[in-house]
């Protein structure tokens, strides 16, 4: 899915989780994103800032698309790194261990 998705907000319908943004499985972010979507949607709908549900949904979707795009980009970068020839060094660096000496 493209990272820059856009759509017209509907007054009585929205999407969250994988329906709104697919996440590759390598960072474990899919369920985290869906839970945050639900929280942010509820906060928008309950907020006194928005005069109508349509405004609340539109604000939620704008925020969600930006956040999901950033997380998906990071996840795609991690996916590529974990499937590269230097993946073991990448993992070691992520957890704070100096990379293995690969010159033998």
Helix axes 30-46, 53-82, angle to 10 degrees: 160
The pLDDT assigned to 59 comes to: 97
Q: Which of 37, 40, 39 is nearest to 22 (CA)?
A: 37
What is the residue-averaged pLDDT of the chain? 87
Cβ count near 14 (within 10 Å): 21
Q: Which of 86, 73, 88 is nearest to 21 (CA)?
A: 73
Q: At residue 21, does pLDDT exceed 90?
A: no
pLDDT tens for 26-70 read 667 888 899 999 999 999 999 999 999 999 999 999 999 999 999
């Amino acid at each position: 899915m493209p990272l820059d998705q856009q759509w017209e907000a509907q007054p009585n319908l929205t999407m969250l989780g994988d329906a709104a943004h697919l996440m590759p499985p390598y960072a474990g972010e899919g369920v985290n994103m869906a839970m945050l979507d639900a929280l942010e949607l509820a906060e928008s709908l309950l907020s006194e800032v928005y005069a109508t549900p349509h405004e609340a949904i539109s604000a939620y979707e704008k925020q969600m698309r930006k956040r999901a795009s950033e997380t998906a980009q990071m996840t795609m970068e991690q996916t590529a790194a974990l499937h590269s020839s230097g993946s073991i060094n990448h993992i070691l660096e992520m957890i704070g261990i100096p990379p293995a000496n690969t010159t033998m």
